[in-house]
Amino acid sequence: MHFLDQAKIYIRSGAGGPGAVSFRREKYIEYGGPDGGNGGRGGDVVFEAAAGLNTLIDFRYTQHFKAPRGGHGMGKNRNGAAGKELVIKVPVGTQIVSDEDRETVLADLTEAGQRVVMLEGGLGGRGNASYKTSTNRAPRQHQPGEPVQEMWVWLRLKLLADVGLVGTPNAGKSTFINKLSNTKAKVGDYAFTTLRPQLGVVHHKNREFVLADIPGLIEGAADGAGIGDRFLGHIERCRVLVHLIDISSADPVEAMQIVEEELEAYGGGLEEKPRLVALNKIDLVDDELAADYARELLKAGAHEVFPISGATGKGISKLLDAVIEYLPAATVTERPEGEQEEAGEKPWSPI
């Protein structure tokens, strides 16, 4: 499945149905009079966060969403049918952003099943029967029904994860997340192997949490260098960041400082999040050199350094112990061994 984290769509609520102008005329019935019914209410446009979705790719092919209008009022005091609400299902973590400035957040769907009415359908118009009075016995006025509401909005997906994984290209992030989860992230001996965010569920000591891996950051990413910083939004909701540093790089201290500067330049609260520094690929060097680099990183500002090997798994358990300390019990779920989630068989549609 292709990953898409931004999409522009057009939404329109349903118009209210017009009221009817009608008079009762039946054979052998002495008294007639107005009997025009009211129009039906138009359909609302509703966004709903659906569990199990992690991309907006469907909105690349379906971009216009229009709720049905209300039915016309009719004679014999029959009211028009109300338009059915249009429910647009989006991944959990989706923000609905105004198209005018692309900054104003209209809604933020952070929980599965959360619903928000973005556009309300128009009210139906009154029929002439509702205008009848003792002095106006044969009214002919009616209402046409309220018009539609319409707008363009941007959908912006920010993945929900407990832990974010950052680092420069080739720091070993893909190998690390593949080691801990069933994620099949691409691994290669070249820069920017990861081109889109990856999510993995990590199990550790009968507990689990979601780990998010984003493409590597290079100097100037905030200004668009490399892949840029557009994917940093996916770790804004994380509670802790794991900063992976390649011990075989030319200068691990400089690599740490580059990523720290790019996080600060991006903002969004990332510079204030707790970070765990992991010195990766220690299987390529001896223990003495790894200890020297760890001391240099501590002097450069790292709070604690965890020497690990994403390939062999050495030191990872201690790192995960530290990660869990930052996660409250509400976000760490205990699940019996062997329990499997059942996948829905019905194909998904955005409406």
137 is in an annotated binding site: no
DSSP state of 249: S
309 is in an annotated binding site: yes
174 is in an annotated binding site: yes
282 is in an annotated binding site: yes
Q: Tell me how far apart the alpha carbons of residues 3 and 197 are, in angstroms, rounded to a whole number.
A: 8
350 is in an annotated binding site: no
280 is in an annotated binding site: yes
44 is in an annotated binding site: no
134 is in an annotated binding site: no
Task: Give the Å distances, CA to CA, from 75 to 38, 81, 207.
Answer: 10, 14, 64
Strand partners of residue 336 = none
283 is in an annotated binding site: yes
Q: Which among 81, 75, 93 is positioned nearest to 23, based on CA atoms?
A: 75
Q: Which among 18, 45, 17 is positioned nearest to 151, based on CA atoms?
A: 45
What are the b/e assignments for 166-178, b being 16+ CB within 10 Å? bbbbbbbbbbbbb
193 is in an annotated binding site: yes
281 is in an annotated binding site: yes
Are 38 and 189 contacting, i.e. CB atoms less than 8 angstroms apart? no
Q: Tell me how far apart the alpha carbons of residues 101 and 160 are, in angstroms, rounded to a whole number.
A: 24
188 is in an annotated binding site: no
What one-character-per-residue DSSP string does 138-193 give?
A: S-----------EEEEEEEE----SEEEE-STTSSHHHHHHHHSS------SSTT-
346 is in an annotated binding site: no
DSSP state of 68: P
43 is in an annotated binding site: no
181 is in an annotated binding site: no
244 is in an annotated binding site: no
311 is in an annotated binding site: yes
Binding site feature residues for GTP: 192-196, 213-216, 280-283, 309-311
Binding site feature residues for Mg(2+): 174, 194
Binding site feature residues: 174, 192-196, 213-216, 280-283, 309-311
